[in-house]
A and B are shown apart, each in its own frame.
Chain A
Amino acid sequence: MFWKPISLIPPETKIDFFGLRKLTFVVSTLFILASIVTYVVRDLNYGIDFDGGIMIDVVFPEQPDLSVIREQLQSLGLGEIEIQEFGGPENILIKIQRQDGDEKSQMAAIGQVKALLGDNLDYRRTEFVGPKVGGELIEAGITAVLCALIAMLMYIWLRFDGWQFGIGAVIALVHDVTATIGIFAMMQLEFNLSTVAAILTIAGYSINDTVVVYDRIRENLRKFRKMPIGDLLNLSTNQTLSRTAMTSLTTLLALLALFYFGGAVIHDFVFAMMWGVFIGTYSSIFIAAPLLSVFHLRRDGETVPAASETS
């Protein structure tokens, strides 16, 4: 009647994810360490949302000479000025560091730049964030991410009645968030308010993926009471593999459309989410699930031996 459905992943795969845990733990630890080191050494490329400053997005009638504009702007004596092409050759993005003094001097700087470049250009975006607001935005961003972590830990703890699930999911989550901040530090992508939004979405996506795998582990724990924990984790991960792949792919498809057609303004935002889908999928299979064995996951009162039975 209809075309024959296809299985993306062959049914009943028997991939030994659990056996790979040592490798993936090492890889993840290295990446997290690299993230932290890069963050400490190079720091993030903060956008004006957090650092304060001015951003002007302007389109010229024809391709402007960036070096000329840079020279002209530098003559205003506004400190560090960053100029880059944005989305097209006629479109440039000017970023000016936070000015000394109060908000009034910042506003004056915007006026100076616009007066210098001329009134008849298409000013697509003018953004200014004062130091006061920047500090508050950082605070709100950190609070939001921390609250999200705690709320998810609580929810999973309650739903799975086992601290191992809660801690495992949150470690995977912290892993994903750190790795995302790390990739932003390594690639020196602009870290701004929408990046925080992307991180929270990634957190949601990652936990969503982890919950699906954990759900199956919980179910199998009841079903196969005698199965060694390694086999049980492998079985559960393999059973949910098809779904994990399908959902990651559909989400990536939608994000790819956004990445290529959504415009320059949300480019980095979409990139962060694509990275998040990748890292979230990886962590639920290779981090969250095998972590449960490390925590000596209990089942119905008895301790499931991780490697050998010791007492």
Chain B
Amino acid sequence: MLHFPVWKILAAVTLCVVGLIFALPNFLGKNHAGLLPDWLAEQTVNLGLDLQGGSHLLLEVGLKEVIRERVDGIIDAMRVALRDEKIGYTGLGPKGQKAVVEIRDPAQIAQARAALQEIEQGLELVEQDGVIEIGFSPEALREVKTAAIQQSIEVIRRRIDETGTREPAIQRQGEDRIVVQLPGLRDPERVKSLLGRTAKLTLHFLDDTTPALYEERGKILPPGAMVVPNDDPNNQEEPYYIVRKRVEISGDRLKSAAPTFDQTSGQYVVSFAFDSIGAKKFGKITQDNVGKRLAILLDDAVISAPRILQAILGGNGIITGRFTADEANDLALLLQAGALPAPLTILEERSVGPSLGADSIAAGQIACIIGFILVVIFMAVIYGFFGLLADIALILNLFLILGAMSALQATLTLPGIAGIVLTVGMAVDANVLIFERIREEIRSGRTPINAVESGYKQALKTIIDANVTTLIAAVLLYGFGSGPVKGFAVTLSLGIITSMFTAIMITRMMVVLWLKRARPSAIPI
């Protein structure tokens, strides 16, 4: 136990120096980091959102609606395919995540199967007694979901970028969730309202059936039409509209959108421009349908339904709606960033204002320093010279934790600071075990060198057993915890490892060097 080969000393010292180098940038602050030579690591500890302020949002993507929409599309395609092949059918409609249809004439089943198989790649077709069920294969379903999540992440990123939030972190979590972390965000309500809207813009023609006619006929919809609520503040004559299901042109053909002040009406409006394909399409639609009414739907509600007075060939238009300046601004931003493939639900929000973050850092630092000083004094008083050696190890320990956290780019949270303070208290445990053991050995009459040797040897097993069990708890915390609690698990685990290293290697090395040099006749412990 007392023999230290040179390579071990070198390795231990090197490790400490590396730890110090990694810890160093944290003490210089961002402004002085440039003073360090280039070859030095420049990473500092990442501060968690609870320390730097910001918002954490957990969002759920409505994948069910994405799939339902896709199934609706398949049903439309089935209708067309069966009609083209002149196959008689009945009961065409959705059933769970599948589309189902019954073929009237059993003789046509094979023909129907062949026709329906052609619709789209990745579909699975099951037929029994003339009833055909079509759904996505598991792989296709996974692809649809992944694509929807990817697209959602992209749209979220664009929307957040427009608000000027720096360095947002947006990640998929699990099957249908997205985690959004927005450091330094000051107005979480605005971001939440931006993310809460799908912003799906579609243009449909009004059906010839007016609401009055529809109610007269006992609320029976003509085929291919649907009822949508009227959300137009300028025209509240009709409670709802009946529009064609067919989307003439949709928001993904938009090139740009901007809030504008309309001089003639004295209102804020949103002007938009289609891209070249969209403009051509828009031109043709308006040219062929002069006199008809075109409904502009935002998130499945009509926001205006102007009559086409003349062909609009430039591909530009405006949306009116008695907007305030902010509303016009946000709508333009949403249209510009594109529609979400599915509505988002906010499952969890944790926002911390910048003032609390700063207060928490300050409080954590003070608690850390005071706790540290108390423990250092206590150890020195109780164990004298050996206590001072343990204190040196404790200081090194703090640097090593900081260095490891910087190197691993781990996140420091408020509970994480608590973990460091707790580690300060527990880090001395290994040395306490050893010192108490040495005291016992001396009492049983051993010589100094003998007592130290046997003290370390006996205590080592206990130290390892005791720390492994604590490490088990810390690792589980990391696995099951979230956010700040994970930060606590990180500092606790690192603290356990570094404190074992400093107690077993560094303090022992100092003790051994002192024993060799001073050759004491009694141990001051």
Interface residues of A (CB under 8 A from B): 1-8, 11-12, 57, 59, 102-104, 107, 110-111, 114, 122-130, 132-133, 137, 140-141, 143-144, 147-148, 151-152, 155-156, 159, 193-194, 196-197, 200-201, 203-205, 207-209, 211-212, 215-216, 219, 239-240, 242-243, 246-247, 249-258, 260-263, 265-266, 269-270, 273
Contacts and interface: CB of A to CB of B under 8 A. Distances in A.
Nearest to B377: A253
A127 B483 CA distance: 13
A270 B363 CA distance: 13
B83 interface: no
A62 to B, nearest CB: 16
A197 B126 CA distance: 50
Interface string B144-180: 0000000000000000000000000000000000000
B369 to A, nearest CB: 8
B435 to A, nearest CB: 8
Interface string B248-278: 0000000000000000000000000000000
A211 B433 CA distance: 12
The 4 closest A-B pairs by CB, nearest first: A254-B425, A257-B371, A204-B473, A251-B425
Nearest to A259: B367
Contacts of B383: 5
Interface of B: 50, 58, 60, 188-189, 192-193, 196, 345-353, 355-356, 359-360, 363-364, 366-368, 370-372, 374-375, 378-379, 381-388, 414-415, 417-418, 421-422, 424-426, 428-429, 432-433, 436, 439-440, 443, 458, 461-462, 465-474, 476-477, 479-482, 484-485, 488-489, 492, 524-525
Contact of B345 (A104, A151, A196): A104
Contacts of B470: 204-205, 207-208
B360 A265 contact: yes
Given A6-B381, A204-B474, A257-B370, 6 more contacts: A155-B469, A193-B484, A204-B470, A204-B472, A208-B469, A265-B414
B355 A124 contact: yes
A146 to B, nearest CB: 10
Given A107-B346, A253-B371, A5 B387 contact: yes
A204 B295 CA distance: 65
Contacts, number: 252
The majority secondary structure among interface residues of chain A is: helix
Given A200-B476, A201-B492, A253 B469 contact: no
Contacts of A103: 60, 345-347
Given A128-B346, A194-B484, A251-B425, A269 B415 contact: yes
A119 B213 CA distance: 48
Contacts of A258: 367, 371, 418, 421-422
Given A11-B439, A130-B346, A197-B415, A273 B482 contact: no
Nearest to A6: B382
The majority secondary structure among interface residues of chain B is: helix
A183 to B, nearest CB: 19
A136 B468 CA distance: 28
Contact of A208 (B356, B440, B467, B524): B467
A266 B349 CA distance: 19
A102 B193 CA distance: 16
Contacts of A200: 473-474, 476-477
B418 A269 contact: yes
Contact of A107 (B196, B367, B492): B196
Contacts of A12: 443
Nearest to A144: B480
9 contacts: A12-B443, A144-B476, A194-B415, A200-B477, A246-B436, A250-B429, A254-B371, A254-B422, A266-B414
B188 A266 contact: no
A125 B356 contact: yes
Contact of A1 (B348, B355, B385, B465): B385
Contacts of B359: 263
B122 to A, nearest CB: 30
A261 B370 CA distance: 9
A167 B260 CA distance: 74
Contact of A212 (B428, B462, B476): B462
Given A200-B473, A257-B374, A212 B421 contact: no
Contacts of A102: 345
Nearest to A239: B440
Contacts of A263: 359-360, 363-364, 414
Contact of A215 (B384, B432, B465, B473): B465
B379 to A, nearest CB: 7
Contact of A155 (B353, B472, B476): B472
B367 A208 contact: no
Contact of B424 (A4, A137, A254, A273): A254
B374 A194 contact: no
Given A5-B524, A11-B443, A262-B367, A133 B347 contact: yes
A255 B422 contact: yes
Given A197-B485, A211-B466, A111 B480 contact: no
A250 B477 contact: no
B60 to A, nearest CB: 8
A152 B472 contact: yes
A246 B378 CA distance: 9
Contacts of B489: 197
B421 A2 contact: no
Contacts of A124: 352-353, 355-356
A13 to B, nearest CB: 12
Contacts of A250: 375, 378-379, 425-426, 428-429, 432
A266 B425 contact: no
A14 B465 CA distance: 26
